[in-house]
Structure 1
Amino acid sequence: MAEDDRESWLAGLQVRSPAPVRTATLWAVLATGLLSMLLLGDGLALNLLLVAIPAALAAYFAGRAAGRRTRAWTLVWGVGGLGLLIVPALRDADWPSFLAVVTAIALGSLALHGGRTWPAVLLGPIGVFNSLVAGPAWGWRGLRERFGGARRSVGAGLRALAVSAVLLLVFGALFAGADAAFADLLGDLVPDASVSGGPWHAVLLVFGLVGALAAAHTAAAPVQWDRVEVPEGRPRGRFEWALPLIVLAVLFAAFNAVQLAVLFGGYDAVLKNTGQTYAQYARQGFWQLLLVTLLTLLVIVFALRWAPRDDAGDRKLVRGVLGTLCGLALVVVASAVRRMDMYVEAYGLTRLRVSVVAVELWLGLVIVLIMAAGVWGARWLPRAVAASAAAGVLAFGLLSPDGLIAERNVQRYEDTGKFDLDYARDLSADAVPALDRLKEPLRSCALRPIAYDLEATDAPWYATSWGEARARDILHDRPPAKDPDWSACSRVADDLMYR
Structure 2
Amino acid sequence: MSDQPSDASSRPETPPESPVSVDPVESAPEPASEVPREGPGRAKAAGKPARASTPPVPPQNAGPDVPKVPGYLQAPPRADVWQRRGQQPPPGVLSRLRPPSPSVIGPATLWSVFATALLSALLLGDGLGPNLLIVAVPAALGAFFAARTAGRRLRPWTAVWAVGGLALLAIPALREAGWPVFLAVVSALALGSLALHGSRSWPGVLLGSLGLFPSAAAGVRWGWLGVRARADDSRGRVRTVVRSTVVAVVLLVVFGALFASADAAFADLLGSLTPDVSVGDSPWRVFLFVLGLVGALAAAYSAAAPVRWDGITVRPGKARNRAEWALPLIVLNLLFAAFIALQLVVLLSGYDTVQEKTGLTPSEYARQGFWQLLWATVLILLVIALALRWAPRGGPGDRTLVRSVLGSLCVLTLVVVASALRRMDFYVDAFGLTRLRISVAAVELWLGVVLVLILAAGVFGARLLPRAIAVSAAAGVLAFGLLSPDGLIAEQNVERYDRDKTIDIDYLKGLSADAVPALDTLPEPLRSCALRDFERDVALADAPWYSSSWGEVRARDILEKRPVRNHGVECYRLGQETGERDGYEEKDPYDPY
Q: Does 1:97 pair with 2:181? A: yes
Distance in 1, Cα, partners of 2:416 & 2:338: 11
Distance in 1, Cα, partners of 2:287 & 2:454: 45
Structure 1 position 495, deviation (Å): 9.0
The residue that corresponds to 1:489 in the other structure is 574
Q: Equivalent of 2:500, from 390, 406, 416?
A: 416
Q: Equivalent of 1:24, from 108, 113, 122?
A: 108
TM-score, normalised via structure 1 length: 0.96
Distance in 2, Cα, partners of 1:122 & 1:492: 49
The residue that corresponds to 1:353 in the other structure is 437
Structure 1 position 280, deviation (Å): 1.2
8 A contact 1:410–1:438 mirrored in 2: yes
The residue that corresponds to 1:151 in the other structure is 235
Structure 1 position 14, deviation (Å): 2.9
Structure 1 position 131, deviation (Å): 1.6
1:210-245 per-residue CA deviation (whole Å, 9 max, x = no partner) reads: 111111111111111010010001111111111111
Is the alpha carbon distance of 1:183 and 1:378 closer, same or farther for their aligned partners in structure 2, counting shifts above 3 Å? same
Q: Equivalent of 1:465, from 519, 529, 549?
A: 549
The residue that corresponds to 1:48 in the other structure is 132
Q: Please state whether the residue corresponding to 1:251 is helix, strand or coil.
A: helix
Distance in 2, Cα, partners of 1:357 & 1:484: 36
Q: Please state whether the residue corresponding to 1:416 is helix, strand or coil.
A: coil
1:141-191 per-residue CA deviation (whole Å, 9 max, x = no partner) reads: 001111124222111111100110111111111211221111111111111
The residue that corresponds to 2:67 in the other structure is none
The residue that corresponds to 2:165 in the other structure is 81
The structure having more radius of gyration, on CA atoms, is 2
The one-letter code sitting in structure 1 at the alignment partner of 2:545 is: W
Q: Does 1:259 pair with 2:339? A: no
Is the alpha carbon distance of 1:152 and 1:286 closer, same or farther for their aligned partners in structure 2, counting shifts above 3 Å? same
Is the alpha carbon distance of 1:5 and 1:344 closer, same or farther for their aligned partners in structure 2, counting shifts above 3 Å? farther
Which region of structure 1 is more displaced relative to structure 2, 101-110 or 259-268? 259-268
Q: Please state whether the residue corresponding to 1:432 is helix, strand or coil.
A: helix
Distance in 2, Cα, partners of 1:323 & 1:337: 21
The one-letter code sitting in structure 1 at the alignment partner of 2:477 is: V
The residue that corresponds to 2:36 in the other structure is none
Q: Equivalent of 1:318, from 394, 399, 402?
A: 402
Distance in 1, Cα, partners of 2:583 & 2:452: 42
Which region of structure 1 is more displaced relative to structure 2, 123-132 or 486-495? 486-495
8 A contact 1:444–1:484 mirrored in 2: no
The residue that corresponds to 1:383 in the other structure is 467
8 A contact 2:347–2:419 mirrored in 1: no
Which region of structure 1 is more displaced relative to structure 2, 393-402 or 142-151? 142-151
Structure 1 position 498, deviation (Å): 4.8
Q: Equivalent pairs: percent with the same residue?
A: 63
Matched ranges for 1:70-469 at <5 A: 70-264=154-348, 266-272=350-356, 274-469=358-553
* Alignment root-mean-square deviation, CA: 1.9
Provide structure 1 residue ranges, at least 5 long, that are not aligned to the other structure. Answer: none
Distance in 1, Cα, partners of 2:183 & 2:417: 23
The one-letter code sitting in structure 1 at the alignment partner of 2:502 is: K
The one-letter code sitting in structure 2 at the alignment partner of 1:49 is: L
1:418-455 per-residue CA deviation (whole Å, 9 max, x = no partner) reads: 10111101000000000111111111111111222222
Distance in 2, Cα, partners of 1:161 & 1:270: 74
Structure 1: which 4+ aligned runs deviate by more than 6 Å? 3-6
8 A contact 2:143–2:299 mirrored in 1: yes
The structure with more helix, counted as a fraction of residues? 1
The one-letter code sitting in structure 2 at the alignment partner of 1:487 is: Y
The one-letter code sitting in structure 2 at the alignment partner of 1:490 is: G
8 A contact 1:115–1:226 mirrored in 2: yes
Is the alpha carbon distance of 1:441 and 1:310 closer, same or farther for their aligned partners in structure 2, counting shifts above 3 Å? same
The one-letter code sitting in structure 1 at the alignment partner of 2:224 is: W
TM-score, normalised via structure 2 length: 0.81
The one-letter code sitting in structure 2 at the alignment partner of 1:14 is: R
Structure 1 position 126, deviation (Å): 4.0
Is the alpha carbon distance of 1:136 and 1:498 closer, same or farther for their aligned partners in structure 2, counting shifts above 3 Å? closer
Structure 1 position 15, deviation (Å): 1.5
The one-letter code sitting in structure 1 at the alignment partner of 2:389 is: R
8 A contact 1:351–1:405 mirrored in 2: yes
